[in-house]
Amino acid sequence: MPEVRKEAAHRRAHGYGQTGSAASGRAAMRAAVPDPIGPAGWAGVPHVLRIDTGRAGPHLVVNALTHGNEVCGLAALRAVLRRRKALLRGVVTLVAANPAAHRRHDPAMPQSGRFIDEDLNRLWARARLRGPEHNAELDRARALAPIYRSADILLDIHSMATGGPPLLMFHPTRAADRLLARLPRDHHRIRFAAPIHTGRLLVEQPGLLGRQDKAAFVVECGRHGTRATDAYAVRITLALLRAAGMLRARASGPVRGVWQDVTALRMVRARSDAFRFGRPLAGFERVAEGEIYAHDGMRPLRAPFGPCILLLPRLAPKRGGEAVILALPTRRKPV
């Protein structure tokens, strides 16, 4: 089948591409990618499913729908469910993190249904989790936190507005390095030298960040809502289960592509509503020290070090918002 028709068939099969009238709004909600684990829940927390092999081993959490519009994680949950009998050891917990936001996702509008009150991937600072405030995402985060905290390995699955090759992001730990050494190289790797986002990420929550015996990964699988993105979400999830000895290992050859290892040092935030890059960026562009890579209003922004690698550029950052991450090539021998 030609690529375009395959994509169209895929989108129909998963309920993408319902267009935007009010009537089809309901249809889109019904047709939106179903959450394969359902609302029943585990330990009183809905949309969580625990698969216990009964044999000693790690606790691995596969986390989908941190952003309600990023549906590729649901393909990964389905893939694990299909293999539940093949799991060799340990416990796998499947989580649909923000199904309430996902129910508001209209597949015709890729950014719709991302969250209800605030970004579920920026609120994991201890002070916020323990604070007095309530909203849809904070309350869900408080319910899910004990599950994430009990994970030895966490995979938080995302997709991107801008597309591009898959990225695996993490804070380096001994446990993460052990797993990375056993994962096929079919993605770029971004190490965080320290938390740099506005608000803590899900993988940076108390009980995970700084624990050398734990490995917490964010994967960006590709552009929102495409077949290739779903396929990568499945591939990295199964590869991680294999790397952890929880699924039978499979030989995997090298994957074509030039895969980079970089260390993220700094988040650049926009100070104006007129933040513009010098040229359209896809991510991983290199600029020399002192080179102008963007203008924030009238202010030119120069690379503070070199080679400076520009990561995850936002399409149109607003004042105060995250604009781009500055990174260096990882110095240590990449794994």
Q: Which residue ranges make up the site for Zn ion (CB under 5 A)? A: 67, 70, 158
Judged by beta carbon, residue 70 or residue 285, the one nearer Zn ion is 70
State the nearest-atom distance from the C-beta of 144 to Zn ion, in Å. Answer: 16
Judged by beta carbon, residue 15 or residue 68, the one nearer Zn ion is 68
State the nearest-atom distance from the C-beta of 228 to Zn ion, in Å. Answer: 17
Segments of the chain assigned E as strands: 48-52, 59-64, 91-96, 153-160, 167-170, 188-192, 215-223, 261-269, 275-277, 285-287, 292-296, 299-302, 308-311, 322-329
Structural contact between residues 182 and 250, judged by C-beta atoms closer than 8 angstroms? no
State the nearest-atom distance from the C-beta of 67 to Zn ion, in Å. Answer: 4
Judged by beta carbon, residue 70 or residue 152, the one nearer Zn ion is 70
CA angle 303, 304, 305 (to 5 degrees): 95
Segments of 53-208 assigned E as strands: 59-64, 91-96, 153-160, 167-170, 188-192
Residue with the CB atom nearest Zn ion in the bound state: 158
* Alpha carbons 322 and 294: distance in angstroms, whole number: 13
State the nearest-atom distance from the C-beta of 52 to Zn ion, in Å. Answer: 28
Q: Which residues pair with 190 in a beta bridge?
A: 169, 262
Judged by beta carbon, residue 47 or residue 158, the one nearer Zn ion is 158
* Alpha carbons 25 and 144: distance in angstroms, whole number: 29
State the nearest-atom distance from the C-beta of 298 to Zn ion, in Å. Answer: 32
How is residue 328 written in tokens?
Answer: 């260096």
How is residue 110 written in tokens?
Answer: 């890729």
Q: Is 277 helix (H, G, I), strand (E, B) or coil?
A: strand
Judged by beta carbon, residue 237 or residue 330, the one nearer Zn ion is 237
State the nearest-atom distance from the C-beta of 148 to Zn ion, in Å. Answer: 16
* Alpha carbons 170 and 153: distance in angstroms, whole number: 11
Judged by beta carbon, residue 14 or residue 67, the one nearer Zn ion is 67
Judged by beta carbon, residue 58 or residue 68, the one nearer Zn ion is 68
State the nearest-atom distance from the C-beta of 159 to Zn ion, in Å. Answer: 7
DSSP states along 192-232: ESS--SSS--GGGSTTTTT-TT-EEEEEEEEETT-HHHHHH
